[in-house]
Structure 1
Amino acid sequence: MKARTTTLRIAGAALAAGALAWVALGGVTGTSPKDVVAAQSIADEGPGYAIEDGAYPNADKILAEQKIKLKSGDGHILLAECTGAPELMEVFSHANEKICFRVTGNKGYLSLEIPAVFGVKGNDYAAQVQMSTGSEEKTFSVGKNTWTAVGETADEQGRDFMLLEIRTAK
């Protein structure tokens, strides 16, 4: 008896949903094509879709105030205040002194531009930094929780390197 009651309830709910859909689509007598077009145009004026382009939030403000060009990323490597906390990744630059990043999640990616970078102190993540000098690009592996010489300090010619990307993984 209980199974039959449940089946009747499900069938009744389906019938009601079908009737509502029929009414919404203009199946009721007296609904003109003009009314349907009006309803569609109102729906078309609603808010658009949010499209995530990966652009770093407030990048223009950060560039103006701190001279750090943050381009895009996956949201797992974020600019942070340098507090000396061991979970922060620290980037050392002649142009900006020390810049810190908080890393979250299992992996992270950040595209940026910081000139004259000469060292990176890693955190609990394995990291790689992509850098360039002139037309030459180099990738440096950053040790976990240690200071790693990159750019000028790892270059035999002592050239300035621009930091272009940071990639991290747990």
Structure 2
Amino acid sequence: MSVKPQRKRIALRALGAATVGALAWITATTGIPGGASQEANPTALVAGESPGFAVENFDYPLADKILAEKKILLKRGDGHITLADCASGTGLLEIMARDKADKICFKVVGSSGWLTLEIPAVYAIKGNDYTTAVDMTVGSEEKSFDILKNSWTPVGEAADTEGRDHMLVEIRSSK
């Protein structure tokens, strides 16, 4: 009888035991079902569930911060119309509101965009190179205005025969 086959069997048994031990350790530490208690392991895998999905809800990012700092309520949009610093350049939509000391500017990118918001007492909007329309409310009434390209357009109280305050509630732009 040869010594070599016996050494091979011992080596294979040791390797097998090490493999089983390693798999048991992985199972216990990763929470694979059948391993350590899943309640104690928050990283436990859950069989039968599909992976999570990122869902775009179109809420305007940092809207709470902008509302607190600038008193402008930005609600939802597709990301193609964003609040901008009026000194950042040309080609911006510019909005004048009686309650604001300075203009409010928006940058438009892409082939089209939309943004819902609330800015009270808006009376004039300067367009850019995009075809732009805005929706405004006064009381329970809604009015739409087409904004002239690269020129000021009277809207809201400036275009209302009664001079009532209008709130800007939506901007839509397209090339």
TM-score (norm 2): 0.71
Matched position secondary structure for 1:37: coil
Alignment of 1:63-102 (within 5 A): 63-83=67-87, 85-96=89-100, 97-102=102-107
Please give the alpha-carbon distance, in whole angstroms, between the structure 2 residues aligned to 1:132 and 1:71.
16
How far off is 1:50 after superposition? 2.1
Partner of 1:57: 61
Alignment of 1:3-152 (within 5 A): 37=33, 42-44=44-46, 48-83=52-87, 85-96=89-100, 97-152=102-157
Please give the alpha-carbon distance, in whole angstroms, between the structure 1 residues aligned to 2:34 and 2:90.
59
Unaligned runs of 5+ in 2: 1-30, 36-42
Provide Cα deviations, 1:60-86, integer angstroms capped at 9, x if missing partner. Answer: 000000000000000000000011732
Please give the alpha-carbon distance, in whole angstroms, between the structure 1 residues aligned to 2:77 and 2:137.
19
Provide Cα deviations, 1:143-170, integer angstroms capped at 9, x if missing partner. Answer: 1111000000000010000000000000
* 2:169 equivalent to 1:164: yes
Which structure 1 residue ranges, 4+ long, deviate > 3 Å from structure 2?
Answer: 35-39, 41-48
Please give the alpha-carbon distance, in whole angstroms, between the structure 2 residues aligned to 1:98 and 1:64.
17
Please give the alpha-carbon distance, in whole angstroms, between the structure 2 residues aligned to 1:57 and 1:134.
28
Partner of 2:12: none
TM-score (norm 1): 0.73
What is the percent sequence identity of the aligned residues? 54
Please give the alpha-carbon distance, in whole angstroms, between the structure 2 residues aligned to 1:43 and 1:37.
7
How far off is 1:42 after superposition? 3.6
Structure showing greater radius of gyration is: 2
Aligned-residue CA RMSD (Å): 2.7
Aligned CA distance change for structure 1 residues 38 and 104 (closer, same or farther; 3 Å): farther
Unaligned runs of 5+ in 1: 1-34
Matched position secondary structure for 1:64: helix
Partner of 2:25: none
Aligned CA distance change for structure 1 residues 143 and 43 (closer, same or farther; 3 Å): farther
